Amino acid sequence: MNIEILGHNMKVSEALEIHTRKKLERLDRYLPNIANIRVEYTHEHTRRGEDMLAAQITIRHNRGAILRAQESAQGDVEVALQEAVERMYRQIERFKGKKARKGKSRFSASLEEISAAEASPGVALPDEGEEEEAEVSIVRRKNIAVTAMNEEEAIEQMELLGHTFFVYYDDLTRGVNVVYKRRAGGYGILVPQLA
């Protein structure tokens, strides 16, 4: 099991790296066949109060499933890690339950897709009384490698990642589609076509 630890806007100390590895090595007991675990720590400056520190854990299972948990805490990265690990245990239980109910279906996703599918950092809200800028600016652009799968696999992958949409290559339509969660319940699929 490979554990990769990254820091965004912060340096990961040796003590934090040791603490992180110690916490994550236990996950293998609950979910065997973990191929890779990636932990990303992010330091976000805030206008109000203490800075936010986030810990995001992404697990890639040998069968291709991706599990992800992210938590934030004010000023203490170890609290964020502990909460993210607890959330990951719940994700693992949910994953095991789905696998047991639906049989051992195969998930597929590329490592590039992990990066592309992960949620973007939160957008800071303006202070009260501060007007929003009228100009729209793109703050992040991602290139993604999509994996061939059917609609059901795409929905399962979206649910495992905890996202509201998921981009995938549909074998049936032979094109890139987007599955999304509808506010009224159920799912929708966007099938792009040239106008």
Segment 87-118, tens digit of pLDDT = 999 888 888 877 666 655 455 444 444 444 44
Residue 101: what pLDDT? Answer: 65
* Architecture of the domain delimited by 109-117+142-195: 2-Layer Sandwich (3.30)
Residue 83: what pLDDT? Answer: 94
Which of 69, 52, 59 is closest to 107 using CA atoms? 59
Average pLDDT, the chain: 81
Distance between CA atoms of residues 103 and 101, nearest Å: 6
- The residue written with tokens 């106008």 in the block is 195
Domain 1-107 belongs to what topology? Double Stranded RNA Binding Domain (3.30.160)
Residue 145: what pLDDT? Answer: 78
Residue 195: what pLDDT? Answer: 61
- Within 8 A by CB and 6+ apart from 141, the residues are none
CA 108 vs CA 22, 53, 60, 124, 184: distances in Å: 28, 31, 10, 33, 28
Distance between CA atoms of residues 114 and 146, nearest Å: 10
Where do the structural domains in the chain lie, given as residue ranges?
Answer: 1-107, 109-117+142-195
